[in-house]
Chain A
Amino acid sequence: MMNQGSTTNTMATLDPSPQESHQVVDANQHHMSSYYAAPNSTVTPWAHTADSYARENGVLSHSGYDHDQRAALPSRNVQDGLNVATSATTPSSGDTNVQQDYSSYATYQSTDPYGYSNTGYAAYYSGYQQPSNQSYSQPSGAYQNTGDNGYQQQSSQSYSQPSGAYQNTGDSGYQQQSSQSYSQPPGAYQNTGAPYQPLSSFQNTGSYAGPASYSSTYYNPGDYQTSGGYTSGAYNNQTNVWHEGQYAAYTSHQYPSYSSDTNASYSSTTAPAASQYQQQYKQWADYYNPTQNDVTCAPGTENISVSNVSSLSCPVPAGYSASGVHASASHAPPGKPEPGLSTLAAVQSPAVGGNVHDSYWKHWAPSFQNQQPDPVQSYGQKPLDVTPSHDNLHTQQSSSCPQGPSTQYQASYQMPHSYQSSLPTVQQTVTSADTSSASKLQIPTNPRITPTLTTGLPKLDKQSYTTNAAAKPAYVSVSLPEKVSSHAADNALKPDAFPKSLRGYVERALARCKDDAQMVSSQAVMKEVIKKATADGTLHTRDWDTEPLFLMPSVDADNKERVIFSVPVSSSPTSKRSPSRRYKSRWEPLVEEKPTVQPASVTPDASKYGSWNRQFSGGKSDNKVNNSSHLKFSLPQRKTLKIDVFRPAKRQCVGDGMDTADNGEASSDSDKERRQSAHKSAAVAAADTPEERKRRENRSKRFERGHGNRVASNDTRSRNDGAGNVYTRRATALVLSRNIEENGNHAVEDIDWDALTVKGTCQEIEKRYLRLTSAPDPATVRPEEVLEKALNMVQSSPKNYLYKCDQLKSIRQDLTVQRIRNELTVKVYETHGRLAIEVGDLAEYNQCQSQLKTLYAEGIKGCDMEFAAYNLLCVILHSSNNRDLPLAMSRLPAEARENEAVKHALSVRAAVSSGNYVAFFKLYKTAPNLNTCLMDLYAEKIRYAAVRCMSNSYRPTVPVTYIAQVLGFTSVLLTTEESDDADGVDDCVEWLKAHGACLTSDNSGEMQFDAKASVSSLYMPEPEDAVSHGDASLAVNDFLTRNPL
């Protein structure tokens, strides 16, 4: 996605989950309003920061807060069973959001207009680390700086519990934003109970990875929108920060967290409890505090702060924003400046203490009476005395409430969010509100996602979004027209709130659900019911207590819906990255093995999910292992992933099949999808044995290496995988340098090359050589037996060298890709080397020689002496470098000097170095093996030198017969055959004439070489077969005649 587009796109992507999107929108709006207000109002809520940025941060934090709430929602949904519909939608949105985030990230990375990323991050990190180490005492200090006593208290109190968690987790977590926040939640959950861990993780994810996890759905959208509102530039900055800071880290951490979150949340559904809620609240408080801290820590720039807020400090911002919103809403109408002021007031108010709370409550109360009681109840339920946290929550809620009435849609939306997060009872109202809003919005949004609808609607969405972004003030006052309408409806609904009885109804409905899939579907049904009720005005009049429960919806239908969502997502531009994740997911198992696989349901995009999970798992493990940095995670992930369980992998595979929603244990529900993905996942699911795992690992590696080409042919998705692969590789490459220490150890040594080696299956003996441009295909690679036959065929073939060379090269290639290094290999190279020598193809010979050198060095038997001699001759004859010769000679082992061929080569060298042409041609005639061929290549040179020498030293003449004899023009020594001699003389005469020698005849008619006359007339003729490019074998004529091999 492009930068500009990113904001709009993100919105569009958000759309799939209408509620979420709305919420997001709301969050954005809130942000916008508050943000604007801040600049206008000179008074900054955050005294310490004093920067308008701080406010922005706070505002942004709003979005983050929303996220958190959202995250909470799924869990609650599970528990309460009321929000089912919302939860179901949320997951989808979450996925989309994630994609958006990614895309946005990508774009930002490219832009990098602001150098903030590094510094900002560092600052951020440092700030975080401190809190973690010191267990929040510092954060409180930071707050003190801000001057808000009340806040300090809140933070401290809320922190107190979390602090423990932090400390525990602290090691791994704090360096990484995500890890920190996440770590806390898990800790808290652990204390309270297993179910809530997911929530915590959610929150974490939300805060950190906004993009990756649910939070991202709310969050990211919120952030993005806000950014859009601010300006694309600001947005860019944020993204930049993220990118540079740790893109890799992002994916890994966030995703991991995300997956865990989803899982956890679902698991939690099994054991929903009031206490859990309380815990959640606490956590929320904690989160708030941390976020606040974060804000203080990273005052540097808007971008940074924004990023921080969005990513890390979702909770805090939420608190702030909430308070700010409250102030604005409650105190005054939604004026621009007011929000800012209100935020200040809100901040201050907490400081003031319980009174403020009361005031908030009061404010709140008028607007949402129904809701109020709920929160109160929840609080009552909570055994904890975390007043500050409560305050925060209250403020948040209140803020959302006031906004709602104030005319802004945001308010209405936020309301639901906050409620959901805070109280189950509230959730009912929320759900209703959401559903209403959602229903309206959903339609437009969904189309965007779905490919068919995309054409028309997306544009609209974009436009609307863009308009929003462009007109910042519009945001403050009134957002998009479309939304406004829907929002208005929502607003109308909200004040009424949902009757308690409705809540009970929803609870009952959800209680029936046996598994998540049912829950999701029943949620959807309830959404419809409530929507209908609100539409015809019977929402409050109807007797929900007696209302019959609807029939249990079929999960399949639900799944289908999701499928629709998922498909579009994958097709969307943002999906680029998803493939990578999915790819991983297919092969790499998740860390967690929780019984409930509901997370899948959450994400329409199974693929993305899988990837996240994977990354997550990696990240998780890393966290434990590394305290260091996010960056390191990316690569280690893979390995750690493999180590982890694989059940998740199965699920992921199922997810690949499109709908992951119910997978997991609810096999009956997701049978369809399973069947779809069955063939893909079969291998993965085959067995859980370590061998199987290892095998799978290897396979996955191989695919990575092989660009996934083959996979692509089998499965269209695999193509995405390939792309994703590339993407991830690039991403990891960025991190690689830092990872080297850790990865380096594993990566190279752990690669099982044997597993990667191709085993050929081709039975054809003849094969033309083609330089590989991709991974070798076993179907075209010949196994060793066949290669041996091929070699024999080549050796006995009557065809010309070009054919043989071609064949030998293909044999060599097959040997290489199969990593065969034995006597056959040596034989092949020797054969080729000899052939090359015979025809004087030194380039090919040198290749063979260098290979043979290493093969011999490995102890493989062959004609090493013969080739040592060739090597020596080559150095002597063809190397202009005098340094090579002593080197080559000194490397000769002692026994080599006893070898006939080597001795001969050494003698040749001596003859050449002294210029003894007589000795040279004597040796030429006695050369063993193919030494002659190599000497041939030097003969011309030495003959010319000899003739030159003769012309200078002999007087008056030299008989040509003598020259022919000493210069090797006779094939045999004089003694044997006269005819040969005569031929030799003729050749010699011809040669001498060609070189400008002066020949005369003496009295007896014998041809004489006139030495003195020749001194000045000798010349070296241009070789007849010379071509301008220096390689006769490339001559055009030769090439044309060569075609029929």
Chain B
Amino acid sequence: MAYISMGEAHRRITDFLNRFSDAVSSQDAKSLSLIFSISSNPSFLVAVSDALITFQDASRVIRQADRYSQYADILLPLFRALQSYRLRNLVESYQAFEKAANAFTQEFRNWESAWALEALYVIAYETRILAERADRELASNGKTPEKLKGAGSFLMKVFGVLAGKGSKRVGALYVTCQLFKIYFKLGTVHLCKSVTRSIETARIFDFEEFPLRDKVTYMYYTGRLEVYNENFSAADHKLSYALSHCNPRKVRNIRMILKYLIPVKLSIGILPKTSLLEKYNLTEYNNIVLALRRGDLQLLRRALQEHEDQFLRSGVYLVLEKLELQVYQRLLKKIYIIQKQKDQNKAHQIKLDLIVRALKWLEIDMDVDEVECIMSILIYKNLVKGYFAHKSKVVVLSKQDPFPKLTGKAVNS
């Protein structure tokens, strides 16, 4: 760290303070938000941090002038946060920053207009980021990471400030999204419910009035929630909304959306083009799609096994696993088509033995009872029209549309 003279340090600090008070007095949200963006390491913040390390008694500088001291509650902890961040003491930094953020939120609550929303966004973002880093630091020290949880409850407070009526409500969705990120990271997705309820039941504010950016994020996360709940049609709707409104240049975001949208689409019988998967590097779905096309149960199982960890983590494993029935259906359909080519009249009767043999050929070892059970389930779930004659061990297919398409509806479970 370069040596800074006392005078230089003092100058930098006063400069910073001036920036802050100027931004507040001129209601310049842009420069105000810059002041809070610790984690993005803007050069002037680094400079101030260095100055703070050199010049220990910054609190006196704040107290000297009225225009600073009235924001001492914000500035003092902010200084501490900057300093500790620079010294790589992230836990300390987070704690101080949360204090500053809290003070700023109080201040924000008192301001009539929502001019400082931009800065509040930055604060919400930084709170989350710093908390994540602090947790990483805690975890590496063998301590319980708990800061992100704390950030969650703090942002919930911020949400409370914004969620009311009036101009500030526009910002509520951004905070909601930050909360989603925290909750999904912590695995406490059930906490999302209270936030979403507040967003979706409020009639006073049309959802469309929120910023597009936030809407896409919101839809993405709520779509994921629907995937967890295996509510595929709703998930499809939300994720599709997110996909269609997402900035097409944000490839990473589109990929994230597709990661969930593809399994959802698959489970309602819609297969993606291979080119799409390749464009967004979603190759883990390649074999699954292929298995669905071919009716290759073995391929599906292998694909699932291969990416099990990944699918389990993203939460789509169970969704993909349920595609098995569709693969059976496809297999049966193939057999049916082959039989039809052989003998048009007897094509609608498929012997169980034949199916077992086909599965054997796919290197899947299932006894007759199990296959019979699967056939029974296929019929029961309306993937196959017809009935099963136990006595003759034959699947009797309906003559009209024996393999109905899902057409956007999930397999009823």
Task: Please state if B317 and A950 are interface contacts (CB–CB under 8 Å).
Answer: no
A753 at interface by CB-CB < 8 Å: no
Q: Give chain B nearest CB distance to A924 CB in angstroms.
A: 14
Contact A886/B318 with A917-B373, A918-B373, A954-B390 known, Cβ cut-off 8 Å: yes
Question: What is the CA–CA distance of A887 and B318 in the complex, to the nearest angstrom?
Answer: 11
Residue interface mask B297-331, A partner, CB < 8 A = 1:
00000000000010011010110011011000000
Q: Give chain B nearest CB distance to A157 CB in angstroms.
A: 34
Task: Please state if B379 and A953 are interface contacts (CB–CB under 8 Å).
Answer: yes
Q: Which residues in chain B, 24-53, are within 8 Å of chain A measured between CB atoms? A: none
Task: Please state if A949 and B228 are interface contacts (CB–CB under 8 Å).
Answer: no
Task: Please state if B321 and A953 are interface contacts (CB–CB under 8 Å).
Answer: no
A365 at interface by CB-CB < 8 Å: no
Residues in chain A near residue B375, CB distance under 8 A = 953
Task: Please state if A953 and B377 are interface contacts (CB–CB under 8 Å).
Answer: yes
Contact A955/B387 with A890-B313, A918-B372 known, Cβ cut-off 8 Å: yes
Partner of B376, one of A889, A890, A950: A950
B214 at interface by CB-CB < 8 Å: no
Q: Which residues in chain A, 880-908, are within 8 Å of chain B measured between CB atoms? A: 882-883, 885-887, 889-890
Task: Please state if A883 and B189 are interface contacts (CB–CB under 8 Å).
Answer: yes
Q: Give chain B nearest CB distance to A944 CB in angstroms.
A: 13
Residues in chain B near residue A917, CB distance under 8 A = 373
Question: What is the CA–CA distance of A290 and B317 in the complex, to the nearest angstrom?
Answer: 77
B284 at interface by CB-CB < 8 Å: no
A685 at interface by CB-CB < 8 Å: no
Residues in chain A near residue B309, CB distance under 8 A = 890
Partner of A889, one of B228, B312, B369, B377: B312
Residues in chain B near residue A956, CB distance under 8 A = 389
A737 at interface by CB-CB < 8 Å: no
Partner of B229, one of A882, A887, A910, A922: A882
B370 at interface by CB-CB < 8 Å: yes
Residues in chain A near residue B180, CB distance under 8 A = none
Question: What is the CA–CA distance of A10 and B254 in the complex, to the nearest angstrom?
Answer: 78
A225 at interface by CB-CB < 8 Å: no
Residues in chain B near residue A918, CB distance under 8 A = 369-370, 372-373
Among A185-193, A252-260, A420-428, A958-966, the stretch that binds chain B is A958-966
Residues in chain A near residue B187, CB distance under 8 A = 887
Task: Please state if A916 and B318 are interface contacts (CB–CB under 8 Å).
Answer: no
A403 at interface by CB-CB < 8 Å: no
Contact A958/B390 with A882-B229, A890-B313, A916-B370 known, Cβ cut-off 8 Å: yes
Task: Please state if A919 and B370 are interface contacts (CB–CB under 8 Å).
Answer: yes
Can you give 20 A-B contacts (C-beta < 8 A)? Answer: A882-B228, A883-B228, A886-B312, A886-B313, A886-B317, A890-B312, A910-B321, A913-B322, A914-B324, A918-B372, A949-B380, A950-B376, A952-B380, A953-B375, A953-B378, A954-B389, A955-B389, A955-B396, A958-B390, A962-B390
B230 at interface by CB-CB < 8 Å: yes
Residues in chain B near residue A61, CB distance under 8 A = none
Q: Give chain A nearest CB distance to B404 CB in angstroms.
A: 15
Question: What is the CA–CA distance of A377 and B217 in the complex, to the nearest angstrom?
Answer: 90
Contact A915/B377 with A954-B387, A955-B389 known, Cβ cut-off 8 Å: yes
Q: Give chain B nearest CB distance to A685 CB in angstroms.
A: 42
Q: Which residues of B contact A (CB under 8 A)?
A: 187, 189, 228-230, 309, 312-313, 315, 317-318, 321-322, 324-325, 369-370, 372-380, 387-391, 396, 413
A580 at interface by CB-CB < 8 Å: no
Residues in chain A near residue B318, CB distance under 8 A = 882, 885-886, 913
Q: Give chain A nearest CB distance to B371 CB in angstroms.
A: 9
A265 at interface by CB-CB < 8 Å: no
Task: Please state if B373 and A919 are interface contacts (CB–CB under 8 Å).
Answer: yes
Consensus secondary structure, chain B interface: helix
Q: Give chain B nearest CB distance to A912 CB in angstroms.
A: 11
Which of B317, B318, B321, B378 has the largest count of A CB atoms less than 10 A from its CB?
B318
The residue in chain A whose Cβ has the minimal distance to the Cβ of B375 is A953
Task: Please state if B325 and A914 are interface contacts (CB–CB under 8 Å).
Answer: yes
Question: What is the CA–CA distance of A128 and B228 in the complex, to the nearest angstrom?
Answer: 64
Q: Which residues in chain A, 937-992, are within 8 Å of chain B measured between CB atoms? A: 946, 948-950, 952-959, 962, 965-966
Question: What is the CA–CA distance of A958 and B375 in the complex, to the nearest angstrom?
Answer: 14
- Chain A's interface size range is 20 to 34
Q: Give chain B nearest CB distance to A280 CB in angstroms.
A: 41
Q: Which residues in chain A, 132-180, are within 8 Å of chain B measured between CB atoms? A: none
Question: Besides A886-B312, A919-B373, A949-B376, 10 other CB < 8 A contacts?
Answer: A882-B229, A914-B324, A914-B325, A915-B413, A946-B373, A953-B375, A953-B380, A954-B389, A955-B387, A957-B391
Residues in chain B near residue A919, CB distance under 8 A = 370, 373
Residues in chain B near residue A890, CB distance under 8 A = 309, 312-313
Residues in chain A near residue B317, CB distance under 8 A = 886, 889
A-B contacts counted at CB < 8 A amount to: 76
Question: What is the CA–CA distance of A957 and B388 in the complex, to the nearest angstrom?
Answer: 10
Which of B309, B321, B391 has the largest count of A CB atoms less than 10 A from its CB?
B391
Task: Please state if B388 and A954 are interface contacts (CB–CB under 8 Å).
Answer: yes
Task: Please state if B376 and A953 are interface contacts (CB–CB under 8 Å).
Answer: yes
Residues in chain A near residue B390, CB distance under 8 A = 954, 957-959, 962
Which of A913, A917, A918, A966 has the largest count of B CB atoms less than 10 A from its CB?
A918
Which of B317, B321, B388, B413 has the largest count of A CB atoms less than 10 A from its CB?
B388
The residue in chain A whose Cβ has the minimal distance to the Cβ of B325 is A914
Q: Give chain A nearest CB distance to B75 CB in angstroms.
A: 21
Question: What is the CA–CA distance of A919 and B368 in the complex, to the nearest angstrom?
Answer: 11
Residue interface mask A923-936, B partner, CB < 8 A = 1:
00000000000000
Question: What is the CA–CA distance of A959 and B391 in the complex, to the nearest angstrom?
Answer: 9
Q: Give chain A nearest CB distance to B224 CB in angstroms.
A: 11
Q: Give chain B nearest CB distance to A835 CB in angstroms.
A: 32
Which 6 residue pairs of A and B lie closest in terms of their CB atoms, listed nearest first?
A: A953-B379, A955-B387, A918-B373, A890-B312, A953-B376, A949-B380
Contact A886/B369 with A916-B374, A949-B380, A955-B389 known, Cβ cut-off 8 Å: no
The residue in chain A whose Cβ has the minimal distance to the Cβ of B189 is A883
Q: Give chain B nearest CB distance to A858 CB in angstroms.
A: 14
Task: Please state if B379 and A952 are interface contacts (CB–CB under 8 Å).
Answer: yes
Which of B321, B325, B369 has the largest count of A CB atoms less than 10 A from its CB?
B369
Question: What is the CA–CA distance of A409 and B322 in the complex, to the nearest angstrom?
Answer: 99
Question: What is the CA–CA distance of A910 and B318 in the complex, to the nearest angstrom?
Answer: 10
Q: Give chain A nearest CB distance to B317 CB in angstroms.
A: 5
Q: Give chain A nearest CB distance to B301 CB in angstroms.
A: 10
Task: Please state if A966 and B389 are interface contacts (CB–CB under 8 Å).
Answer: no
Question: What is the CA–CA distance of A919 and B370 in the complex, to the nearest angstrom?
Answer: 6
Q: Give chain B nearest CB distance to A118 CB in angstroms.
A: 19
Residues in chain A near residue B374, CB distance under 8 A = 916
Task: Please state if A914 and B312 are interface contacts (CB–CB under 8 Å).
Answer: no
Task: Please state if B228 and A966 are interface contacts (CB–CB under 8 Å).
Answer: no
Question: What is the CA–CA distance of A882 and B318 in the complex, to the nearest angstrom?
Answer: 8
Task: Please state if A913 and B387 are interface contacts (CB–CB under 8 Å).
Answer: no
Residue interface mask A644-682, B partner, CB < 8 A = 1:
000000000000000000000000000000000000000
Question: What is the CA–CA distance of A910 and B374 in the complex, to the nearest angstrom?
Answer: 13
The residue in chain B whose Cβ has the minimal distance to the Cβ of A892 is B312
The residue in chain A whose Cβ has the minimal distance to the Cβ of B376 is A953
Question: What is the CA–CA distance of A946 and B372 in the complex, to the nearest angstrom?
Answer: 12
Residues in chain B near residue A922, CB distance under 8 A = 370
Question: What is the CA–CA distance of A275 and B368 in the complex, to the nearest angstrom?
Answer: 114
Q: Which residues in chain A, 247-269, are within 8 Å of chain B measured between CB atoms? A: none
Contact A953/B228 with A889-B312, A913-B321 known, Cβ cut-off 8 Å: no
Question: What is the CA–CA distance of A249 and B9 in the complex, to the nearest angstrom?
Answer: 40
Task: Please state if A882 and B230 are interface contacts (CB–CB under 8 Å).
Answer: yes
Question: What is the CA–CA distance of A565 and B370 in the complex, to the nearest angstrom?
Answer: 93
Question: What is the CA–CA distance of A922 and B312 in the complex, to the nearest angstrom?
Answer: 26
Contact A966/B369 with A882-B228, A882-B318, A885-B318 known, Cβ cut-off 8 Å: yes
Residue interface mask A71-83, B partner, CB < 8 A = 1:
0000000000000
Contact A953/B388 with A882-B230, A915-B377 known, Cβ cut-off 8 Å: yes
The residue in chain B whose Cβ has the minimal distance to the Cβ of A963 is B390
Residues in chain A near residue B396, CB distance under 8 A = 955
Residues in chain A near residue B388, CB distance under 8 A = 953-955
Q: Give chain A nearest CB distance to B321 CB in angstroms.
A: 6
